Structures are given as C-alpha cells and as structure tokens.
Amino acid sequence: MSAAVGIALTGSGAATPARVVTNDELSLWLDTSDAWIRSRTGIAERRIATVEDSLESLSSQAAQQALERAGWRPDQVDLILLATSSPDDLFGSAPAVQAALGANNAVAFDLTAACSGFLFALITAAQYIRSGTCQRVLVVGADLLSRWVDWQDRRTCVLFGDGAGAVAMEVAPEGWDGLLTMVMRTDGRRRSCLAMARQATSQVLHDQLQAGLGGFRPISMDGQEVYKFAVQQVPLVLTQALKQAGITAEQLDWLLLHQANERILASVAQRLGIPAAKVLSNLENYGNTSAATIPLMLHEAVMAQRIRSGHLIASSGFGAGLSWGAALLRWGRPDAP
C-alpha cells in the first residue's frame, strides 16, 4: 500500500468590510457599554457589511490572495470549498467565487457548519487531497452575520462581525504533512442553544393549499450554555488531537481557536497549559466572524511573520450544531522560509 498523500498549507488571504463599528457606536441605540462588551468578551470593534458589500466579493478577495500567495494559476485549482452560514445565494455562493477567480477547472460548493465551518471544510478538503482526487484546493471561511442578528438584542448582536478568510492547500512534497490529526464532533440534541432557524410562515395558494414561505428568524443563543460547552469540550478535543499525534502542548507554536470570546481563549489555554503569548487573538478588532475567524486570524499572523513555515498550530472551531472539532496543523512547506 502506498503512503497517504501529505498536505501542505501554502497560502492565506483575508478580506473584511471597510465599515468599522465600535462598542460606543452600538450604545447609540442599545442599552450596552464599551466597558461591558470589552470585559465580558474582549471585543472593541467589528466590521459590518453595508448593502454594497457581498459575501461573494469578500470571499473572492480572500481566495484570490491565498491563490497568489501559494503561487498557483487559477486554472490549477481543483476544488473550492466555501464554509458559510450566510451565503448571498442559498443554492451556494462558492460558484461565484470560482467565476471571480476564473478557476474554471474547479468544482465549487458550500459547506455549512456555523463557527466550526472553516475547520470542518479544511478537514474535508484534506480528504480530497489524501485520496488523490484533488491536487490544489482553496478553503474559504466567510460570514456576514450582521445580516442575521437582531440589532435590538444586546445579548447577541454585540458579539458578531463580518469577514472572510482563505487558505490554499495542496499535495505536499514527500515527508511533509500539514494536517497531523483531526477530531470532529456534533451534538444535534443541543442545536437549539444557538440557531438561525426557519421562520414558519405560510402563503395561501388556493383554499385547499398553503405552502410554506422561505425565511429565517434572527440568531438566537443561550450564551451561558454555549460558553460552558466551549470551555468543557474544546480542551477535550484539543487534548485528543495532541495525543493522537504524540505531541505535547509545550511543542506547539500557536493556539488558534475560533474567536468567540477572550475569556474562552484564556480558559482553554489555561486548561492545556499554553502560555498567553502563544494564543492568537484578534477578537478586539473583529468580534466573532463565525466561519471566518480562524482563517482571518491565521492570515494576519502569517502576514505579521508570527506564524512561519514549519510552525505547529493547534486549532479548534466550535459553535452552532452544536459542532466542534480540532486539528493539528503545520504551516507552510519545507522549501519556504
């Protein structure tokens, strides 16, 4: 039997809307304060999409950067996976990204797993490479949850922001692997803790027939339940991923978690004995951008030359579903600085 094909993570990209909304601006219409939001979440400001912005455009910008940084031509891309819960088109926004890039040989489709979406998409993409089905894959995580929150509900709307991030993944040279281990979990029994559920409305077609009408309710969340779930389950999956790889927490270069709450980042790091200096965080500037948080943070850290080729990263996504997972990643490729 031939050895499994290795994975290399060779490019990243990110894009966010230009409009910055500070905590103080939120308190213009909400009974909230900068002090409350900062102390409970670590968030100072977020980017909010205006009517001119689109998920497809931000995703395409992020994907284009990842493609260029990986040094690929658009026609070399085999697959584009777009993790999102807020597509511009419910039939899928990935084809629009494919068209914008001119990646005409790629198959492109969406994957929905809320805040775990990017990590699940990365793990899914890896299977296509390992099986020999694809050579080059773009994995995009993007969400515009500002379009789906209730802007009068201070318990949820202050948490979220908009953005997109992308990673280029390709077949690795022999002896290299950028995805060491992975764990994925779902507990659908607790799906109502965090949901953007169908709005049950109907339309009368004639006196014997009422059809349903498409539509969704704004995001609802039991914040405390989700918080407890995250601080309990995320350390467990990360520990499992480390154990599977035979790696200790001390060997990690970075902890890259879904950016939901600074207190969750600190609690998980503490449970694993990872020093604060190794915990990546950009919550302060972007809030929770759902499927975009991990690639957005990754791209910033790569651009700042904090994450460098060969660095070992423990990553975990968690959120609605409930869904959660972890992966141990090695950034870059052997011939890169």
- Give which of 314, 185, 187 is closest to 256, Cα–Cα: 314
Scanning 78-86, 130-138, 225-233, 307-315 for contacts with ligand UT7 by CB under 6 A, the matching segment is: 225-233
Q: What are phi and psi of 328, to 5 degrees?
A: -100, 120
Taking the least distance from each CB to ligand UT7, the nearer of 134 and 260 is 260
- Give which of 187, 190, 225 is closest to 324, Cα–Cα: 187
How far apart CA 232 and CA 142 sit, in angstroms, is 26
Shortest CB 207 distance to ligand UT7, Å: 44
Q: Does residue 21 touch ligand UT7 according to CB under 6 A?
A: no
How far apart CA 82 and CA 97 sit, in angstroms, is 9
Q: Does residue 226 touch ligand UT7 according to CB under 6 A?
A: yes
**Member of 41, 59, 60, 98 binding ligand UT7 (CB under 6 A):** 41
How remote is the C-alpha of 123 from its chain's centroid?
Answer: 12
**Count of residues of this chain found to bind ligand UT7 when the rule CB under 6 A is applied:** 21
Q: With the C-alpha atoms ordered 26, 28, 29, 34, is the resulting torsion angle positive or negative? A: positive
Q: Does residue 151 touch ligand UT7 according to CB under 6 A?
A: no
Q: Does residue 288 touch ligand UT7 according to CB under 6 A?
A: yes
Shortest CB 64 distance to ligand UT7, Å: 26
**Member of 34, 36, 124, 184 binding ligand UT7 (CB under 6 A):** 36
Shortest CB 145 distance to ligand UT7, Å: 9
Q: Does residue 260 touch ligand UT7 according to CB under 6 A?
A: yes
Q: Which amino acid, one-letter code, is at 3? A: A
Number of neighbouring beta carbons within 10 Å of residue 67 = 23
Q: Does residue 261 touch ligand UT7 according to CB under 6 A?
A: yes
CA angle centred on 115, ends 38 and 11, rounded to 5° = 100
Q: Does residue 115 touch ligand UT7 according to CB under 6 A?
A: yes
Scanning 87-95, 124-132, 220-228, 278-286 for contacts with ligand UT7 by CB under 6 A, the matching segment is: 220-228
**Member of 20, 191, 223, 266 binding ligand UT7 (CB under 6 A):** 223
CB-closest chain residue to ligand UT7? 223
The answer for residues whose C-beta is within 8 angstroms of residue 332's C-beta and 6 or more apart is 8, 9, 10, 178, 308, 309, 310, 311
Q: Which 3-state string (H, E, C) describes 212-252?
A: EECCECCCEECHHHHHHHHHHHHHHHHHHHHHHHCCCHHHC
Shortest CB 328 distance to ligand UT7, Å: 21
- Give which of 258, 259, 145 is closest to 195, Cα–Cα: 145
Write the binding mask 159 to 178 for ligand UT7: x where contact by CB under 6 A, - elsewhere: x-------------------
Active-site residues: which are they? 115, 258, 288
Enumerate binding residues for ligand UT7 (CB under 6 A).
32, 36-37, 40-41, 115, 154-155, 158-159, 194, 223-224, 226-227, 230, 260-261, 264, 288, 319
